[in-house]
Chains A and B, each alone.
Chain A
Amino acid sequence: MAGTPTPPFLAPIEELRRQLQAAEERPDSASRAQAARLRRELERELRAVMSNLTPWQQCQLARHPERPYALDFIKGLFTDWVELHGDRGFGDDPAMVAGLARFDGEPVAVIGHQKGRDTRDRLYRNFGQPRPEGYRKALRILQLAEKFGRPVVSFVDTPGAFPGIDAEERGQAEAIAHNLRVMAALEVPIVVVVTGEGGSGGALGIGVGDRVLMMQHATYSVISPEGCAAILWKDQTQVPRAAEALRLTANHLKALGVADEIVPEPPGGAHLDPAQAIRSVGVVLRKALGELRKVRRDELPRRRQAKLRALGKYSER
Chain B
Amino acid sequence: MWFWRSDRSHESRIPEGLWVKCAGCKETLYHKELEHHLHVCPRCGFHHRIAARTRLGQLFDGGSYKELFSKIFSTDPLEFVDNKPYADRLQGLFERGLRDDAVVVALGRIGGVKAIVGAMEYGFMGGSMGSAVGEKLTRAIERSVKLRLPLVIVSCSGGARMQEGVLSLMQMAKISAALARLHKARLPYISVLTDPTTGGVTASYSMLGDINIGEPGALIGFAGPRVIEQTIRQKLPEGFQRSEFLLEHGLLDLVVPRRELKDTLARCLGLLL
Interface pair A247/B166, CB less than 8 Å apart: yes
Which B residues lie within 8 Å of A173 (CB)? Answer: 202-203, 206-207, 221-222
B172 and A161 within 8 A (CB): no
Q: Which of A3-11, A21-29, A37-45, A308-316 sits within the interface?
A: A308-316
Question: Are B166 and A221 interface neighbours, CB within 8 A?
Answer: yes
- The answer on a CB contact under 8 Å between B222 and A161 is yes
Contact with B along A221-260 (1 / 0, CB 8 A): 1111001100111000000000001111000110010100
- Which among B99, B208, B240 is the interface contact of A168 at CB below 8 angstroms? B240
- Chain B neighbourhood of A12, CB < 8 A: none
B131: chain A residues within 8 A (beta carbon): 311-314
Distance (whole angstroms) from the CB of B252 to the closest CB of chain A? 10
How distant is A224 from chain B, measured CB to nearest CB, in Å? 6
A252 to B130, CA, bound (A): 17
Cα-based distance from A258 to B164 in the complex (angstroms): 13
Rounded to whole angstroms, the CA-CA distance of A204 and B223 in the bound complex is 15
**B146 CB–A CB distance under 8 Å:** no
Interface centre among B167, B179, B228 (most CB of A within 10 A): B167
State whether B200 touches A165 (Cβ < 8 A).
no
Mark the stretch among A78-86, A111-119, A177-185, A286-294 that contacts chain B. Answer: A177-185
Q: Which residues 163-178 of A have a CB within 8 angstroms of B?
A: 163-165, 167-174, 176-178
User: Please, how many angstroms separate the alpha-carbon atoms of A308 and B183 in the complex?
Assistant: 17
On chain A, the residues within 8 Å of B232 by CB distance are 164-165
- Cross-chain contact A246 with B165 (CB below 8 angstroms): yes
Interface status of B173 (Cβ within 8 A of chain A):
yes
How many angstroms between the C-alpha atoms of A171 and B237 in the bound complex?
A: 17
Q: Are B3 and A311 in contact, with the CB atoms below 8 A? A: no
Contact of B174 among A168, A170, A220, A312 (CB under 8 A): A312
Within 8 A of A (CB), among B166-189: 166-174, 176-181, 183-184
Please state if B208 and A315 are interface contacts (CB–CB under 8 Å): no
Please state if B166 and A248 are interface contacts (CB–CB under 8 Å). yes
